Amino acid sequence: MARMKSPVRVVHYVNQFFGGVGGEDKADVGVSVTPGAVGPGRVLETALGAGARIEATIVCGDNFANDRAEEFARAVATELDRLKPDVVVAGPAFGSGRYGLACAQVCRIAQDRGLAAVTAMHPENPGASAARRGITILPTGTSTTSMPAALAALAPLAQRLGRRETLGPAEVEGYLPQGRRRVYDRGRPGFQRALDMLLDKLHGRPYRSEVPYSAPERVPPAAPIADLTRARIAMVTTGGLVRKGNPDKQVSANAVRYHRHSVAELESLSPKEWEAYHAGYFNHLVNSNPNYILPLSFLRDLERQGAIGAVHEHIYALPGVSTPVAVSAGHGRSIAADLKQGGVDGALLVAT
């Protein structure tokens, strides 16, 4: 009589909303563990069938996971060491950026411990942009309406990873491409495939390139400011400007948030009160004169001369280096919304 395989042991990670803790008001709750499946995990367990079971669900608030990343990582690592699953499933996170970043972090922690891991989120989620080279990510829609399809796709992949099966190429298995080169027989030589693609293109037939290409976003420029003498001008820097000693705990790269500071009472930026914290350039010049990176003193001169109407009361700062494009776009949209609400006519972004 053949020996039956033991079920794959799964640990599921969800945020505070899907864990039933609460909404945005509970986004600061720390890591907790509940035995068995919770929320969407119940549907996932059904999709897994008899071949796997969810041993426990790790729950954490999105804010806690991102704002207290080191504490989050230690707590998750401790629980994974205790639970010893065959595979970790995180999410799905869909289009939620903070949730996606947390799911990606959980998968990295699991893999660092020799555990298989998989997550699911929208391809433009910051978590996918930041981590797709290192973890297995299944694509989803932007909203929870794609939950059934996402869980149905996660289940078989989780089982296979939990049994230590080797996955095929992304285009075959359905996960997001990781940019890795593997030896794989496509059945026909490359020159024949290239000629077929060329002929399809010339004859107007559908074709797909084997070389991935992501076209840069095109942003139409805003109309020129009609009258600078009446314009309110703001300043934004990706040069990592911080208050002396970095009391706001800004990171030096891969920014997960930006910082807003008031300069309403300042005529210039003093090196006694401001400095640079940035991993992408030599900070010495900025530390000797922070106005190089955010020229408040020069704009104050223009303000006194009447060349511009006013300097906006807030400045915006973050380190741009190593920040994924999708994350940067999110910061940009948030800053732009704040500038618009503040009645700003134009923004000065100084290069580093």
Can you name the residues that pair with 313 across neighbouring β-strands? none
Per residue in 328-347, pLDDT tens?
888 998 999 999 999 999 99
3-state helix, strand, coil in the chain (%, to 5): 40, 20, 45
Instruction: Please report the domains of the chain, with CATH numbers, ordered by start residue.
Output: 8-173 (3.40.50.2300), 228-350 (no CATH)
pTM of the predicted model over 0.95: no
In order of 8, 47, 155, the CA distances from 149 in angstroms are: 21, 10, 10
What is the pLDDT at residue 228?
95
Specify the 3-state DSSP secondary structure of 168.
coil
Predicted confidence band at 213 (pLDDT cuts at 50, 70, 90)? low
Task: With beta carbons less than 8 A apart as the criterion, state whether 119 and 134 touch.
Answer: no
52-60 and 8-15 beta bridge pairing: parallel
Specify the 3-state DSSP secondary structure of 330.
helix
Q: Taking 70 as the threshold, does the pLDDT of residue 229 lie above it?
A: yes
- What is the token pair recorded at 243? 């208050």
Per residue in 37-54, pLDDT tens?
999 999 999 999 888 999
Predicted confidence band at 4 (pLDDT cuts at 50, 70, 90)? very low
Q: Taking 50 as the threshold, does the pLDDT of residue 192 lie above it?
A: yes
DSSP 274: E
Rg (CA), the chain: 25
Average per-residue pLDDT for the chain: 90
H/E element holding 259? strand 259-262
331: left (phi over 0), alpha (psi -120 to 50) or beta: alpha
Burial class (CB in 10 A: 0-12, 13-18, 19+), 50: exposed
Per residue in 6-42, pLDDT tens?
889 999 999 999 999 998 889 999 999 999 999 999 9
